[in-house]
Amino acid sequence: MTTFPKNFLWGASISAHQTEGAYKSDGKGLSVQDTRQRDNHDIADFTVAVDHYHHFKEDIRLLAEMGIKVFRFSIAWTRIFPEGRGEINDLGLQHYSDVIDELLKYGIQPYITLNHFDLPQALEDEGGWSNRSTVDAFVHYAETVFEAYGDRAKHWLTINEPNIMLLVDKKILGKDIPLQEKYQQFHHLMIAEKYAFKRCHELIEDGKIGPVPNISLVYPATSKPMDNQAALYFNSVRNWAYLDFSCFGRYNAVFKDYLNRNDVSISFAPEDQELMENHFPDFVAMNFYTTVTVEKPTERDGMANGISDQQSEDIMEWGFYKGFTNPYLKKNEFNWTIDPDGLKTTLQTLYDRYHLPIIITENGLGAKDELTEDGKIHDAYRINYLQQHIEQCGSAIEAGVELIGYSPWSAIDLVSVHEGISKRYGFIYVDRTEHDAKEMTRYKKDSFYWYQTLIETNQLPS
């Protein structure tokens, strides 16, 4: 039996484009997620998603019944500024005000992500994150929502997983980006984040804000020294480059060497150094699904071999490291490795490095659930996954990590980034298929009741 601290923040998470639907309603503009070219047309897109835009009151009532203390959701930038900048869309602004009020009515704290993969298409047309002016548009958007909601919403997350956005750019942004441009985008994203830290602290009384990367600790495939070097580089490029920038205000040395070796040079605006060195987060929000294992590629591997698991795209980078299937880990039905022990190690490594409170804002199992005739979803596999990961959270806390909350993915079923609605993550089932939106009736899964008991008792049974 693991007991959690009294004020532990049990939560649940979603993003706007994967749940809301209503992609053109009430003045909303298009985002890169609405326009993204898809290789697979057999899966649902985001136009209707699970219609959370119209069901938010029902969804929040169910989540309140489950007992959550925090709800992590994102604002669709294009509901506030349909073109990314310019005229405010009042209906969009009102929508999230209503969402926040609804949460507060049940005593649920909002944890709001400013941007979750859905950059306004109008900004993308002008070069997206490659263009410095996107930083200015982002800052103005952030200031607008801080001012509109900061009296009620005190906890903010910046830009969801900039590391995954850049490492698997084709899948998330819909196009490949050359290396030089990719890391100029990195700089702009991270500077935008610095501005968000600054303006949140200036505009919101007691406002707290944190970065929200996807962290997967990188293991070396063997004890060969060069595999360990490969893991060092990939850890830096995938994980620490982002958090070192946020939390220490610098480009770390291994990452710099990586950029130099690839002839990448970043251009700084005059104000950047000051921003980097003076504005910091209050906590780190971390999304964790798995760990990654790499080895040093051999000559024979060249640039195109050795792709081995679900994270292959972000591993096959320019000869420094190559993905390796970790023989000690099991996989889920979508081929993602499962590593609960790795979660504890990741939490300890993160805390050791940054000494900041941590909240887990994503962790969960994507699975093909089945709705039975009598309206039940027996998702014992999800309960088992969550149980194992939450156990490791408890163990990390015992080991001295300041873990303040756990907000898994996802609160309700949503459309997966790459794999449609059949890959379900939620505690609440939404009845629709890839191509038939049906009535979208909500059903509580077995995991809903399991999580409800956990939150109520604050104890994880062994």
Q: Which stretch binds ligand BG6 (CB under 6 A): 229-237, 324-332, 410-418, 439-447?
A: 410-418
Minimum gap (Å) between residue 425 Cβ and ligand BG6: 7
Per-residue string for binding with ligand BG6, 266-305, x by CB under 6 A? ---------------------x------------------
- CB closer to ligand BG6, 15 vs 239: 15
135, 94 contact by CB (below 8 A): no
Please pick, from the candidates 89, 134, 160, 392, the single residue that binds ligand BG6 as defined by CB under 6 A. 160
74 binds ligand BG6 (CB under 6 A): no
Token representation of residue 73:
């959701």
Of 95-114, binders to ligand BG6 (CB under 6 A) are none
Integer Cα distance of 367 and 361 in angstroms: 19
Complete DSSP assignment for 67-97 = T-SEEEEE--HHHH-TTSSSS--HHHHHHHH
Minimum gap (Å) between residue 424 Cβ and ligand BG6: 10
Please state whether 188 falls in left (phi above 0), alpha (psi between -120 and 50) or beta: alpha
346 binds ligand BG6 (CB under 6 A): no
Residues 6+ apart with CB under 8 A from 76: 16, 17, 20, 28, 31, 92, 118
Of 7-26, binders to ligand BG6 (CB under 6 A) are 15, 18
**From the candidates 143, 362, 373, 434, which is the catalytic residue?**
362
Per-residue string for binding with ligand BG6, 209-248, x by CB under 6 A? -----x----------------------------------
Integer Cα distance of 421 and 407 in angstroms: 20
Please pick, from the candidates 12, 16, 417, 454, the single residue that binds ligand BG6 as defined by CB under 6 A. 417
- DSSP-H helix ranges across 176-311: 179-203, 225-235, 241-248, 253-261, 272-278
Query: For tokens 């495939």, what's the residue?
Result: 221
Helix (H) or strand (E) holding 354: helix 340-354
Q: Which stretch binds ligand BG6 (CB under 6 A): 52-60, 220-228, 337-345, 418-426?
A: 418-426
Phi/psi of residue 153, nearest 5 degrees: -105, 115
**Cα atoms in the 13 Å half-sphere on the side-chain side of 125:** 9
- Whether 202 is a known active-site residue: answer no
92, 113 contact by CB (below 8 A): no
Q: Which stretch binds ligand BG6 (CB under 6 A): 20-28, 216-224, 409-417, 436-444?
A: 409-417
119 binds ligand BG6 (CB under 6 A): no
445 binds ligand BG6 (CB under 6 A): no
Minimum gap (Å) between residue 117 Cβ and ligand BG6: 6
Minimum gap (Å) between residue 198 Cβ and ligand BG6: 24
423 binds ligand BG6 (CB under 6 A): yes
79 binds ligand BG6 (CB under 6 A): no
209, 158 contact by CB (below 8 A): yes
Q: Which stretch binds ligand BG6 (CB under 6 A): 123-131, 157-165, 196-204, 368-376?
A: 157-165
362 binds ligand BG6 (CB under 6 A): yes
Please pick, from the candidates 366, 394, 405, 408, the single residue that binds ligand BG6 as defined by CB under 6 A. 366
Closest to 215 (Cα-Cα) out of 291, 117, 311, 314: 291
Please pick, from the candidates 34, 51, 102, 161, the single residue that binds ligand BG6 as defined by CB under 6 A. 161
SS (H, E, C) 301-315: HCCCCCCCCCCHHHH
Residues 6+ apart with CB under 8 A from 232: 254
Q: What share of the chain is helix, strand, coil (3-state, %, to 5)?
A: 45, 15, 40
Binding site for ligand BG6 (CB under 6 A): 15, 18, 160-161, 164, 214, 287, 362, 366, 409, 416-419, 423
For the annotated catalytic residues, the residue numbers are 362
